[in-house]
Amino acid sequence: ELLAAAGFENAFGDRPRYPEVSLEELAAARPQVVLLPSEPFPFRERHAEEIRAVLPAAAVKLVDGELFSWYGSRLLYAAPYFRRLRTELLSEIA
């Protein structure tokens, strides 16, 4: 919900939490932006490179997974973080 409030749309939002998405499924969805959180799975730059190879026009970004996955005081920082992230990514794909 925080991502939606910041203006993002989850291309796989109809799936259960923490879906496993193949590169083929990702390419077929053709997202403008791919966010790779550090948690619960620790995505790394090599994962971003694999995705950029199949989605060269997409903005692929490693992001702070604690703000996606952890409850509690981090939620205070999540909404501003996602708004800044969206602004940054929009400038990359423009």
Whichever domain contains 14, its CATH number is: 3.40.50
Q: Name the one residue in this structure whose structure tokens are 């005081």.
A: 73
What span, in angstroms and rounded, lies between the C-alpha atoms of 59 and 8?
13
pLDDT at 67: 79
- Residue 56: what pLDDT? 95
Q: 47-61, pLDDT tens digit by residue?
A: 999 999 999 999 999
Number of domains, the chain: 1
Q: For residues 23-54, b (16+ Cβ closer than 10 Å) or e, as one string?
A: eeebeeeebebbbbbbeeeebeeeeeeebeee
pLDDT tens by residue, 66-85: 877 777 777 778 888 888 88
pLDDT greater than 80 at residue 65: yes
- pTM of the predicted structure, to 2 decimals: 0.82
Domain of residue 42, residue span: 2-93
